[in-house]
Amino acid sequence: MNTAAANTYAYLADCTDPTRRSRIFSVYQGFLYAGTAIGPAFGGLLIRQTGDLRTVFYYALATHSLFTFIVCFIVPESLAPTQLSRAKAAYNENTIQAGRGIGKFSDRLVSFLAPLKLLIPVRVTKNGGPLKRKKDWNLTLLAVAYGLANTLIVGEIPKTVVEGWDIDLLQS
């Protein structure tokens, strides 16, 4: 979900004028939360109409498959052809500079972790001079809190799943 959201925001940012971007983002976010609010009710109606819990999962499979098809084959590229060719040229330049040696291969193998450098605490400066052994841990702690919160939320899901659930138990 987070990857899809990041890709969606990147696509919207590429396709919209900066003056209208906040409006487009807020509309997207509104639809996202509306779907989150309406989805469980719709799922409940599906289960009630069919009497089978699996119907919701089949419906989700169908809608996600349709979404994947639309994104892969219908949604156009967000960059103009000139921007795309410049981006490809810059990528190729970086690939050539990275080299092909064994040491460089191991660097490329873990290069996907490079954005996590953002979470490393940085030295805090005040009035142009570094403070004594002070680091800004805010972003690091925020990431840890977010991770723990998601872990706790996902950890609660198995507790709610009970063997032998059927439609009669859900309706009572």
Q: Is the pLDDT of residue 24 over 60?
A: yes
Report pLDDT for 30: 92
C-beta of residue 53 within 8 angstroms of C-beta of residue 47 = yes
Report pLDDT for 34: 92
C-beta of residue 120 within 8 angstroms of C-beta of residue 140 = yes
For residues 38 and 113, what is the distance between their CA atoms, to the nearest angstrom? 36
Cα radius of gyration (the chain): 23
pLDDT digits (tens, 9 = 90+) for 73-119: 998 888 888 888 888 888 787 766 655 555 566 676 777 788 888 88
The pLDDT > 70 percentage for the chain reads: 75
E-assigned strands of the chain?
122-126, 129-136
